[in-house]
Structure 1
Amino acid sequence: MSDRTPSLFEWAGGDEAFQRLTEVFYGHVRKDPVLAPVFAHMDDAHPRYVAMFLAEVLGGPERYSAERGGHDHMARMHLGRHITEEQRRRWVSLLTDSADEVGLPADPEFRAVFSYYIEWGTRMALVYSADDPPPTAGPMPKWDWGQTPPWQPGG
């Protein structure tokens, strides 16, 4: 038995949990009147890419960085999309509901950090989707129990 605290990724259930989460979530997105138009031309692999991104941010394998280009690539995907606050809130709400639906851990510690990242990440998506976004280059954010990365404008 190890005394090591599992990562958020491990606690959530690993790759399988994040794949389930994003498949269910984007199934709901496709039917949602607020978000469906935003994702109307979504690549069939999009849920898998988002699962890889979430997994990496929460302590899992660095596959998104290796295969997709990391934070810079994700940020650039939002450039010029003019995401609205209503869309951001709906994204958060549907993802949270999907986390419940697929059985992600419901303990307060995990859900607090998970929710904190989702809130932070969607607000960053708003920043990057604006007419004058900051530079997209920067390290992949990493979140852990009780530890979140500081946001550095332009960095």
Structure 2
Amino acid sequence: MGENEPTLYDWAGGEKALTELTEAFYRQVLRDDLLEPLFRGMSPEHPHRVAQWLGEVFGGPKTYTEERGGYPTMLAMHLGKAITEPQRRRWVNLLQDAADEVGLPADPEFRAAFTGYLEWGTRIALANSQPGASPVKQAPVPHWGWGVAPPYLP
């Protein structure tokens, strides 16, 4: 792909598609015995905020940073949660199921990039959520592309 390659955000279908994705996903989460305790009492705005995060990560507008504060806000949402590996894995699986449910593109290139970010991001969230973790407090929102993990050098 060259200069005119679409962002993952555009390829996915933009804000509408990511909002549908997160709404479908969190409906599943609230019915899931393993994940529901982590999200019990979440704000009705939570799915929309996660859609904004994913949108920014995948090359869309910087709405999450402008309206929510970017990476430090996302980090704060995970601190002290003590996410387990089974919960992390279930989160990834349910988000992939939701992607199928709402009809996100199913081509191998998109799904590989999408799943790559889910694996990368949830492993960081798991580590940052552990008691005694000392994560990087300030970092940019990652920008994910077609099959490339973004390097971060503090």
**TM-score category by the smaller chain?**
over 0.9
Superposed, which structure 2 residues align to 1:69-148 within 5 Å?
69-131=69-131, 132-148=133-149
Superposed, which structure 2 residues align to 1:7-26 within 5 Å?
7-26=7-26
Contact 1:79 1:133 in 2 (8 A): no
The secondary structure found in structure 1 opposite 2:49 is helix
Name the amino acid aligned to 2:64. Y
> C-alpha deviations, 1:7-48, integer Å up to 9, x for none?
110000000000000000000000000001110010000000
Instruction: Quote how far apart the aligned CAs of 1:151 are.
Output: 4.5
Q: Percent identity?
A: 54
Q: How far apart, CA to CA, are the structure 2 residues paired with 1:100 and 1:63?
A: 25
Match of 1:42 in 2: 42
Question: What residue ranges of structure 1 are gaps of 5+ in the alignment?
Answer: none
Question: What residue ranges of structure 2 are gaps of 5+ in the alignment?
Answer: none
Q: How many residues align?
A: 151
Match of 1:62 in 2: 62
| TM-score, normalization by structure 1 | 0.94
Instruction: Quote how far apart the aligned CAs of 1:145 are.
Output: 1.6
Q: How far apart, CA to CA, are the structure 2 residues paired with 1:111 and 1:94?
A: 14
